[in-house]
């Protein structure tokens, strides 16, 4: 189970990296909750698609995925926490950022889907 959740999370990031909305949509339960630098948001599918498409200017590359912890909290629910390093390339050539992330996955209609994702950018040291 642990390996399956890790692979789902990586597939989600690969979908983001490849700007593959259909893959990301299939792995998301709507409405979903997203927590990050813009606060807490409950996002329906239409808003999610708009946010996804508006992020097309920044190309995110997963540079490193580490310190992964997965916990099955019920037969149909799991949480994952990890550190990720993202390379963000835009007109300003931003330096990579490191984040601590969590996701909550549930089984819905016989498929694992993400219902909650958080990202907290780590302070640079």
**How many Å apart are CA 30 and CA 42, to the nearest integer?**
9
This prediction's pTM? 0.89
- 97 or 67: whose pLDDT is higher? 67
Among residues 101, 104, 100, 112, the alpha carbon closest in space to that of 79 is found at 104
- The pLDDT confidence band at residue 123, using thresholds 50, 70 and 90, is confident
pLDDT at 53: 86
- What is the assigned CATH class of domain 1-121? alpha beta
pLDDT at 20: 93
**Would you list the domain boundaries of the chain?**
1-121
DSSP element (H, E) containing 45: helix 45-54
pLDDT in tens, 45-91: 999 999 888 865 566 789 999 999 999 999 999 999 999 998 876 65
């Amino acid at each position: 189970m642990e390996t399956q959740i890790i692979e789902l999370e990586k597939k989600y990031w690969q979908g983001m990296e490849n700007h593959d909305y259909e893959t990301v949509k299939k792995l998301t339960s709507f409405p979903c909750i997203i927590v990050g630098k813009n606060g807490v948001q409950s996002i329906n599918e239409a808003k999610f698609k708009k946010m996804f498409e508006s992020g097309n200017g920044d190309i995110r590359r997963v540079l490193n995925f580490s310190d992964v912890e997965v916990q099955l909290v019920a037969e149909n629910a799991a949480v994952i926490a990890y550190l990720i390093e993202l390379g963000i390339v835009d007109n300003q050539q931003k330096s990579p950022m490191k984040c601590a992330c969590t996701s909550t996955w549930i089984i819905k209609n016989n498929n694992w889907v993400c219902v909650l994702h958080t990202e907290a950018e780590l302070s640079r040291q």
